[in-house]
A and B are shown apart, each in its own frame.
Chain A
Amino acid sequence: MDPSEFKCERIDKNNLWVAADKVRNTHWPEGRLPVDIEKVVEFRLNLLIEPKHGLFSSTDMDAYLKMDLTAIVVDYDFYMNEKFANRIRFSFAHELGHFFLHKEIFAKFDIVTPSDWKNFVRDISDYEYSSFEWQANEFAGRLLVPHSDLVLAIEQAANIITENKLIDYLENDPDAVLSRISPMICKPFGVSADVIKRRAEREGLWPPEL
């Protein structure tokens, strides 16, 4: 198949969410927060973790799934430094998105040498390429932020808003309120405030009905 003519299969967001929920329920049955994604990768799925020095500085990537699906390569500094724990957790979840959603893609192309691979990356359209990334991001967010836990967290936030008589503020500028509360909500999930903000919006939980 010619990469320039390739179309990424459209996956409905609900199906992405079902896929992420299924992976979480299967491989993280403990259900505790945060989802221990590193444990899921290394212990439950038996994928290798390969820290690589200079990955980010040389290629602008935090992590990637190897084409033979045996390992996730991660930037050494991000992996070892607690400061980047949330970032690398999301990267692992994102790569699992590719693992579960896209692993058959490469079999469709005649890629047998590194040069073929380079041509494939060059020739695939930016739009189709970004579709893969969007799907993996959506999968990752849902994997790390279970819907029921997010609903609970939003309900608690709504109660605080009511108790502090901030309903007018919420009605006038819901986006600002979400930006204010996301940093508080995100901690138990082990994700960034941006991920929580996106999940709340994507899943139609914001603004809450008061």
Chain B
Amino acid sequence: MYGEFIKGIRLNKDMSLREFCKLTEIDASNWSKIERGLLAPPQDEEKLKKIAKVLGIKAGSETWKEMKDLANIDAGIIPEDIRSDQEVLKALPMFFRTIRSDKPTAEELDKLIEMIKKED
């Protein structure tokens, strides 16, 4: 909800994920999860103000109020510790492009499965 709302505004402003995260000084990995509803949005007023400023949302405006309401509603999102096999499968790669141009080792495959399971 909050994530989709902010992403919509960001895309309307033609702002890439990277640009947005650089301007707001937010970790892009975490922010990507917030936009997907996998992590709770920030609750800190200063951080919300910074996000609003970067997106051109005026403090006190209707959009500002909506953003804060959604941030409050989504505050209870708790990240899943372990994802199901089906979810992990969807998140695995179709193909790999490794720097050494070989297929990944069994150990690398296991590491990737673990990373995705835990959403590292």
Q: Is the CB–CB distance between B92 and A66 below 8 Å?
A: yes
Known: A38-B16, A65-B95, A80-B22. A129 touches B103 (CB 8 A): yes
CB-CB < 8 A to A102: which residues of B? 94-95
Q: Is the CB–CB distance between A126 and B102 below 8 Å?
A: yes
The 8 Å CB contact of A121, one of B14, B85, B103, B111, is B103
Known: A66-B91, A117-B89. A60 touches B104 (CB 8 A): yes
The number of chain A residues with a CB under 8 A from chain B is 54
**Minimum Cβ distance to chain A for residue B84 (Å):** 10
Q: Is the CB–CB distance between B120 and A54 below 8 Å?
A: yes
CB-CB < 8 A to B95: which residues of A? 64-65, 98, 102, 129, 132-133, 136
Q: Is the CB–CB distance between B106 and A118 below 8 Å?
A: yes
Tell me which of A108-116, A164-172, A186-194, A199-207 binds B: A108-116
- Asked if B99 lies at the interface with its beta carbon under 8 angstroms from chain A, I say yes
Chain B: interface residue count, which band?
35 or more
- Asked if B36 lies at the interface with its beta carbon under 8 angstroms from chain A, I say yes
**Minimum Cβ distance to chain B for residue A82 (Å):** 10
**Minimum Cβ distance to chain B for residue A127 (Å):** 11
Cα–Cα distance between A36 and B58 once the two chains are bound (Å):
30
**Minimum Cβ distance to chain B for residue A194 (Å):** 13
The 8 Å CB contact of B16, one of A42, A52, A76, A132, is A42
Residue of B nearest to A62 (CB): B97
Q: Which of A17-49 contact B (CB under 8 A)?
A: 38-39, 42-43, 48-49
- Asked if A148 lies at the interface with its beta carbon under 8 angstroms from chain B, I say no
Cα–Cα distance between A66 and B90 once the two chains are bound (Å):
7
- Asked if A160 lies at the interface with its beta carbon under 8 angstroms from chain B, I say no
- 1/0 per residue, CB under 8 A from A, across B64-98: the answer is 00000000000000000000011011111111111
**Minimum Cβ distance to chain B for residue A31 (Å):** 18
**Minimum Cβ distance to chain A for residue B120 (Å):** 7
- Asked if B55 lies at the interface with its beta carbon under 8 angstroms from chain A, I say no
Give A residues with C-beta under 8 Å from B.
38-39, 42-43, 48-56, 58-70, 73, 76, 79-80, 91, 94-95, 98, 102-103, 105-106, 111-114, 117-118, 121-122, 124, 126, 129-130, 132-133, 136-137
Give B residues with C-beta under 8 Å from A.
11, 14, 16-18, 21-22, 28-29, 32, 35-36, 85-86, 88-104, 106, 108-113, 115, 120
18 residue pairs bridging A and B, Cβ less than 8 Å apart: A38-B18, A49-B17, A50-B29, A51-B29, A52-B115, A52-B120, A55-B115, A61-B93, A61-B96, A64-B93, A64-B95, A64-B96, A66-B91, A80-B18, A91-B97, A105-B94, A133-B97, A136-B95
